[in-house]
Structure 1
Amino acid sequence: MKKNLLSILCVSVLTLSLFSCKEKAKEATTSEAETVAVVEAEATKYTVNTEASSIAWKGFKPTDEHFGTIGLKSGSISTTDGTITAGSFVIDMGSIVVLDIPADEKGNAKLVSHLSNDDFFDVEKFPTATFEITGVTESEGKTLLSGNLTLKEATNNVTFPVSTTTEGDTITLESETFTIDRTKWNVRYGSKSLFDNLGDKFINDDIELKVTLKATK
């Protein structure tokens, strides 16, 4: 009996250790809005292919998580000598898709509706969000993209690692997975840091994002 109990305890400790060691995506460096980069006269301009571009998102609760994608409405990228120097894109907040719940289940439509209403992104009032590039830097062998993200009338500058590849007339920009603190953009519903007495009903402030963007000349 004691041996069985000891085995159960060991398994529990090992399981807890594995969950504790699970690596969390790094939060994007966030600061006040900065001056938007100006498109240089000699720059090469690429127009975003909205059909081939998207932002993957993931949200977390104590008991589970939800994930999906959101699309882009328009955008452009400018490069000089193969390096991104400016650009902006418009995020279509009405294109939120949930992927962890089958599309034909009621829970899918319910979650999309919840994310779209004024609890979260208030899509009717704020149908779009924008990202405007403010600069690109190199640090520790990584390319860091900085830009002003405007969502629900709040603007903050965020910096996160990206990689770019160019093939013919197409440039592909892909970010590493990163997180942002949604409360900095007035998305406050269920935030444990803002509301008391939520118990285990809170929703994590961090939203995980990964940007994939394709654009052509």
Structure 2
Amino acid sequence: MTDPGTVRPGGRTAQVRESVLRTVGDMVADRGFDALELPVVAERAGVGKTTLYRRWGSASALVSDLLVEMAASSRPRADTGSLRGDLTANAALVVDTLGDARQGRLFRAMFAAAATDPTTAESLATFYAVRVTEWAPCVDDAIMRGEAPAGTDAHEVIRAVSAPLYYRFLTTPTPPDGADADRAVAVVLAAVAAGAFTA
């Protein structure tokens, strides 16, 4: 059996999935994972309960598919021609996402759910693995240009840019801003130059 979201269907099926996932995102952002009830999702999305249970079957599967779609539709990696420019674009994307009223609430709810729901935790980890892999070539390109030492761990560089932004998001009442993004990039660039990310 194919996992929900691993095939991008067309026509009516695609419309149903789009409506359901939009509804799931709204409900999780507004009320959290625990309030995600399949009959309510079906009613709000305008789809039959039988269809919903057949295709997804659980709240965890709905959230998993939502994260698949979010990873697939998120902004692609930048290619500015410099490591500083690319990492700045990556940091700006994180700031924009966490600062967005709906997306910020959605991610907070996802993190809370992941603490107690193994399926959501695995789906969230997969989401970030996809996004980090999308942006890692920025660092590989920088190595080729001589902007970073050979052997620099591209994935860890991308994670290091986002880490302080998420920390601020989760531990303070205000989301990260442009100054936080610039600071994160400056710190990571200094660490890259010092060889902190090489094996």
TM-score by length of structure 1 reads: 0.24
* Greater relative contact order (Cα < 8 A, sep 6+): 1
Bigger Rg, which one: 1
TM-score by length of structure 2 reads: 0.26
Q: Which has the higher strand share?
A: 1
